[in-house]
Amino acid sequence: MKVRALALLRRPTVRQTIPDTQVKLERIEYNMDGIPMKQKDIKNLIEFATKLLVARCLPGDIRSLFYPDVNHNFHIVVKPDGRAAVLVADVDYPTQSGVSGAMGLLKDPNNVPNLSREIQRLQDPSEADKFIKLQKEIDEVKMIMVENIDKILERGEKIDDLVAQSEELDTAAKSFYKGSKKMKGCC
């Protein structure tokens, strides 16, 4: 689960698809951990794909696109003012985190974030997404709770044993009515 690249771009605010030459790549930061060779080729490919995809998105779009040639997801946010951010991550990276990560880069129009720091932070998808973080905490609580419920329920007699015991009680029932009158009748 990795974020491969973060990019900040700018495109014209026209509401139509444009040639990718009109998209200006402002800054880009890569994370090439775990890729031993051809790093440069991949970088080029990502750069090209980023521009191409942003060119095809309209201002105000939020998209998560899979680009098969690179085998990565491109999480794209284009603001109505033409600023765009792209978070490139592998397919394991949660879409929700990718989109909110990209959106986080565009939070403040006057302050350009430090991409090299951001890319480190965003490697953990929960960091990217407060919701995911919360969800993770809830899951943890849930797990602990379920464990504790298990412990509580295992205290004392097991319910399965009680089911078996009570069934035995039922089958062992022997009528209290001796029916002596009827017996006398047949003798």
Partner 1 sequence: MSSESPSSQPKPGASPQSIIVSRVRQLSAKVLGEALEKIAGTILIVTENSVINALEITVGTPFLKERSVEGFGLIQMESPNTQAQNLVFLINPTLPNIHRVMSIAKHTTGKKFHILFIPNELPFCKQILKDNGMANTFSRQITNWHWIALDNDLLTLDMPFVFRYTAVDGDWSPLYFLSSGILDILSVTKPRTLTRILAKGDLSSFVADRILDGLTKSDKRTPTEEDNDLPQINNLILLDRSVDLVTPTATQLTYLGLIDETVGIETGCIQGDFGPEGKKIRFFLRPNDQILREIQDKSFNAVGRSLHQKALEIAEKEKSYKDQTDMNKLRTFVKELEDLTQQHQNLAIHTKLAERTRGIISERRFHEQLEVEQSLFEQTDSIGVGGTTGSSITNAGLGGEKVPNSSAAEYIEDKMGLGVSPWKALRLMSLYTQCCTIKQKVYDNLKAAFVQTYGFHHVHTLWNAELAGILRNPGKESGEAERDKGGVWNYAKTVKNLKAVVDDDDEINPRDFAYTYASYAPISVRLVQYAFSPQRGWGLPAVDDTLRLHTTGEKHTHRLTYNTSVITASSSINLSTLLDPSATTDSRHTTQSQSHQNTTFVSVSTDTPDTLTPLSTSSVTLVVFIGGITYAEIAALRQLQKILNTTIVIATTSIITGSRLCESMKETIRNRLSWNPQMGISKR
Residues in touch with partner 1 (CB under 8 A): 138, 142, 145-146, 149, 152-153, 155-157, 159-160, 162-163, 165-182, 184
49 sits in which H/E element: helix 39-56
Rounded to a whole number of angstroms, the minimum distance from the CB of residue 69 to partner 1 is 37
Q: How far is the CB of 177 from partner 1 (least distance, A)?
A: 5
Task: Please identify, using beta-carbon distances, which residue of 112 and 143 lies nearer to partner 1.
Answer: 143
Distance CA 95, CA 91 (A): 9
**Beta carbon nearer to partner 1, 112 or 144:** 144
109 or 176: whose CB is closer to partner 1?
176
Exposed / middle / buried, residue 178 (Cβ in 10 Å: 0-12, 13-18, 19+): exposed
Q: Retrieve residue 139's tokens.
A: 């899951």
Please state at what angle helix 130-154 crosses helix 95-105, rounded to 10 degrees. Answer: 140
CB of residue 187 to partner 1, shortest distance in Å: 9
DSSP 20: G
Of 35 and 162, CB closest to partner 1: 162
Residue nearer to partner 1 on the CB measure, 112 or 141: 141
The distance of closest approach from Cβ of residue 171 to partner 1 in the complex, given in angstroms and rounded to an integer, is 7
Output the CA torsion 96→101→104→110 (10° steps). -140
CA distances to 63, 84, 103, 164 from 60, rounded to whole Å, are 10, 9, 11, 64
